[in-house]
Amino acid sequence: MRNLRIGTRGSRLALIQAEIVAGALRSSGVEVEIVEVLTEGDRRAPDVSIGEGVFVAALERELAAGVVDLAVHSAKDVPLKVHPELVIGAYPQRADPRDALITRDGGSNLAALAPGAVVGTDSPRRGGFVLRRRPDLVHRPLHGNVDTRLRKLDRGEADALILAAAGLDRLGAGGRIDERLDPVVVTPAPGQGALAIQCRLEDGEVRQALAALDQPDVRLAVATERRVLEGTGGTCRSPVGALATVTGDRLRLLAAAAAPDGSAHHLVELVGEATEEESARLAELAAHELLQRVALPA
């Protein structure tokens, strides 16, 4: 097999995630090299909010043009509308999908934060769920990659942060986590904790190599979560969370939505068979109920 070029952003976390995939491919006898791609999101100042798909679009362009052979994304960042020439060739083993609370001084949890404590996150979903549970807290948007936000926390720009546990673990910063938040309290973003490895639809050689990395249970879970988001008309910036788990032949779906200020919230829990047909049915039911109970931003 030819030497494969893995496209990735140049951030520390993105490079670590690309190395995870590279290691898995090398262990199966495939030679790979990592190619850094500068995205529009990387060109922006660290204090600027990033819209949907900004980090993914540049990688997709390079992949479609044949500059790289596959691209590694955080699954939660992949827009619902995918490039017509590309396909997700593998969803490898998923890391912890939960969100995590980190405090500046350590040793706390969400329930124990002082009234008026400032919680930093650039996610309307995280902000809405946290304020629903603790309306006495102050939500402050904090932008930038994980390392940037941790530095802002240490400088005193917030008393606590909410970040994805998987990213912290992959960066070796899991020891800073004060609390891994119950998905019932802060329901994760669809696809959170999972990696999505994208390749060209017609590149059979690469698709065959990626098939060995694909975890069918993870693929079904992420598809279910993304169907919930699509059913609510949302994007990766919407205050909608979904977490699906597959145990044997059963599929369990937890989905929730919140007003960004925490003034409204609704949680749905459904169980069915672990099939594509049931995934679509459960996601449709969940999305319909969330739209009936929470007025989501357009």
CATH code where residue 226 lies? 3.30.160.40
Q: Indicate if 124 and 205 belong to the same structural domain.
A: no
Question: Is 173 within 8 Å of 51 (Cβ atoms)?
Answer: no
CA-CA distance, 231 to 166, in Å (whole number)? 26
- Please report whether residue 188 resides in a domain: no
Residue 77 catalytic? yes
Q: What is the pLDDT of residue 42?
A: 56
Q: What is the pLDDT of residue 45?
A: 45
Q: Indicate if 36 and 79 belong to the same structural domain.
A: yes
Q: Indicate if 25 and 147 belong to the same structural domain.
A: no
Q: Kindly give the interhelix angle for 216-231 and 276-293, rounded to the nearest 10 degrees.
A: 30
Q: Which of 244, 246, 249 is nearest to 285 (CA)?
A: 244
Q: What is the pLDDT of residue 49?
A: 46
Question: Which alpha helices (H) appear in 102-161, and where do they start and end?
Answer: 124-133, 146-154
Q: What is the pLDDT of residue 44?
A: 52
- Please report whether residue 189 resides in a domain: no
Q: Indicate if 137 and 267 belong to the same structural domain.
A: no
Number of domains in the chain: 3
Q: Indicate if 89 and 145 belong to the same structural domain.
A: no
Q: Indicate if 11 and 73 belong to the same structural domain.
A: yes
Q: Indicate if 3 and 145 belong to the same structural domain.
A: no
**Paired tokens of 209:** 């190599």
Question: Is 279 within 8 Å of 255 (Cβ atoms)?
Answer: no
Q: Indicate if 87 and 210 belong to the same structural domain.
A: yes
Largest Cα separation within the chain, whole Å, is 59
Q: Which residues of the chain have pLDDT under 50?
A: 45-46, 48-50, 52
Q: What is the pLDDT of residue 34?
A: 97
Q: Indicate if 222 and 298 belong to the same structural domain.
A: yes
Q: Indicate if 150 and 269 belong to the same structural domain.
A: no
- Please report whether residue 141 resides in a domain: yes
Which residues have CB under 8 Å from 129's CB, separation 6+?
185, 186, 187, 239, 241, 256, 258, 262, 265
Q: Indicate if 30 and 80 belong to the same structural domain.
A: yes
Instruction: Report the CATH number that the domain containing residue 172 is assigned in CATH.
Output: 3.40.190.10
CA-CA distance, 182 to 165, in Å (whole number)? 12
Q: Indicate if 145 and 292 belong to the same structural domain.
A: no
Which of 77, 96, 122, 178 is catalytic? The answer is 77
Helix (H, G, I), strand (E, B) or coil at 12: helix
Task: Name the pTM for this structure.
Answer: 0.93
Which residues have CB under 8 Å from 175's CB, separation 6+?
none
Report residue 215: phi and psi, to 5°: -110, 110
Question: What is the residue type of 44?
Answer: R
Give per-residue pLDDT as tens, 194-252: 999 999 999 999 999 999 999 999 999 999 999 999 999 987 678 999 999 999 999 99
Tell me the residue range of the domain where 281 lies: 215-298
**Domain end marker among 180, 206, 239:** 180
